[in-house]
C-alpha cells in the first residue's frame, strides 16, 4: 500500500475548490473597498450604514427572523416530542410534509399565498400587521425542513420515553416535562434549527419582495439595480451575517448532522 503518498490529483481538485470558494469572496471584498478611485476606503460601507432604509430592512428582517424562530420552536418541539412518545407511526407523514417546501419552489409558494390570502374570506394582505403575520407563517413554512430535521436529530439522541416517565413519576405535568426536561436536553438541536432559520430569513428575497415588505434582501436587490459599490459592501455584510450564524451552527453541531438539502 502506498496510501500516504501525496495524491496530486486530489490536491488539484481541492485547490480548484478553494479558488471557487474564495475568489468571488475576495472579488466582492476588493470591489467594496474601491469606491474612492485609487485608494482603499470604507466609503461604500459608510454610505450603506448611513442609509435609513438599510437599518429599516435590517431591523425588519431580524425581528421577523426572531419571531419565526420562536413560533417554529413552539410548533416543532412539542410536535416532534409527541411524535416520538406517542405516534411514531406519524413519522412518514411528517417527513413528507416537512419536505414539501423543497418540492414547492418559493416563487410558486408565494404565488399560492397571494392567491389564497389576498381575497376574502382570509384577506390578510390589506394591512401591514396582517401581512407581517402572513410573512412569518411563510418563513416558518420555508424553514420547516431545517427546523424539523434539527429537532428530529436532537430528539433521536435522547431517550424521550424514559425521561418523560422519570419526570412524571416525580410529579411533573406535561408542561414541566417539556420545559424543564426535554427542552434543556434539546438546546443544541433548537439552537441549530434557530441559526439556520435565522440565516434563511435574513437572506430571504421572494416572500418579502412579492408581499412588498421592507426586508433586507429586497433592499439589496433594489440597490443592485442602480449602484455599483454599495451592493458589494452589502454582499459582504450579508456574507458576514450568514456565515457567522452558519459557522456557529457548524461549531456547535460538530459530530451531529443537521443535514439540510436545499432551499433558495
Partner 1 sequence: MTTPRLRPGSSHPWHEQTFWNWLGLAPFFLFVLVFLIVPSLNLFTGAFVTSSGDFTLANLGVFRNPNVIKAYLTSLQVSLLTAVIGGLFGFFVAYAVTIGNAPRWMRGIIITFSGLAANFGGVPLAFAFIATLGRTGFITAILRGICFPGADGAAFCPFNPYDHGFNLYSLTGLVLAYTYFQFPLMVLTITPALEGIRREWREASASLGASTWQYWRDVAIPVLTPSILGTSILLFGNAFGAYATAQALTGGSIPLVTIFIGQQIRGDVLGNPHEGYAMALGMVVIMAVTIVAYSALQRQASRWTRS
User: Residue 161 or residue 187: which is nearer to partner 1 going by CB?
Assistant: 161
Contact 133, 141 (CB under 8 A): no
User: Residue 13 or residue 49: which is nearer to partner 1 going by CB?
Assistant: 13
Q: Tell me the closest approach of the beta carbon of residue 179 to partner 1, in angstroms.
A: 14
Q: Tell me the closest approach of the beta carbon of residue 10 to partner 1, in angstroms.
A: 3
User: Residue 66 or residue 137: which is nearer to partner 1 going by CB?
Assistant: 137
Q: Tell me the closest approach of the beta carbon of residue 107 to partner 1, in angstroms.
A: 5
Q: Tell me the closest approach of the beta carbon of residue 148 to partner 1, in angstroms.
A: 10
Q: How far is Cα 201 from Cα 61, in angstroms, rounded to an integer? A: 7
User: Residue 130 or residue 260: which is nearer to partner 1 going by CB?
Assistant: 260
Q: Tell me the closest approach of the beta carbon of residue 115 to partner 1, in angstroms.
A: 5
User: Residue 24 or residue 55: which is nearer to partner 1 going by CB?
Assistant: 24
Amino acid at each position: 500500500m502506498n496510501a500516504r503518498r501525496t495524491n496530486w490529483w486530489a490536491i488539484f481538485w481541492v485547490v480548484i475548490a478553494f479558488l471557487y470558494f474564495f475568489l468571488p469572496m475576495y472579488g466582492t471584498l476588493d470591489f467594496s473597498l474601491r469606491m474612492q478611485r485609487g485608494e482603499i476606503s470604507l466609503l461604500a460601507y459608510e454610505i450603506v450604514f448611513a442609509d435609513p432604509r438599510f437599518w429599516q430592512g435590517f431591523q425588519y428582517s431580524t425581528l421577523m427572523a426572531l419571531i419565526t424562530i420562536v413560533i417554529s420552536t413552539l410548533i416543532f418541539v412539542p410536535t416532534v416530542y409527541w411524535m416520538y412518545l406517542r405516534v411514531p407511526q406519524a413519522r412518514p407523514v411528517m417527513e413528507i410534509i416537512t419536505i414539501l417546501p423543497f418540492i414547492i419552489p418559493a416563487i410558486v409558494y408565494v404565488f399560492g399565498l397571494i392567491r389564497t390570502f389576498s381575497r376574502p374570506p382570509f384577506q390578510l394582505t390589506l394591512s401591514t400587521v396582517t401581512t407581517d403575520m402572513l410573512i412569518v407563517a411563510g418563513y416558518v413554512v420555508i424553514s420547516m425542513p431545517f427546523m424539523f430535521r434539527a429537532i428530529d436529530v436532537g430528539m433521536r439522541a435522547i431517550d424521550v420515553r424514559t425521561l418523560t416517565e422519570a419526570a412524571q413519576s416525580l410529579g411533573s405535568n406535561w408542561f414541566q416535562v417539556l420545559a424543564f426536561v426535554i427542552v434543556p436536553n434539546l438546546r443544541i438541536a433548537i439552537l441549530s434549527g434557530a441559526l439556520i432559520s435565522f440565516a434563511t430569513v435574513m437572506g430571504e428575497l421572494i416572500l418579502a419582495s412579492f408581499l412588498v415588505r421592507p426586508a433586507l434582501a429586497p433592499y439589496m436587490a433594489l440597490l443592485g439595480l442602480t449602484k455599483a459599490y454599495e451592493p458589494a459592501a452589502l454582499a459582504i455584510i450579508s456574507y458576514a451575517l450568514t456565515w457567522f450564524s452558519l459557522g456557529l451552527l457548524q461549531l456547535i453541531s460538530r459530530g451531529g448532522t443537521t443535514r439540510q438539502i436545499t432551499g433558495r
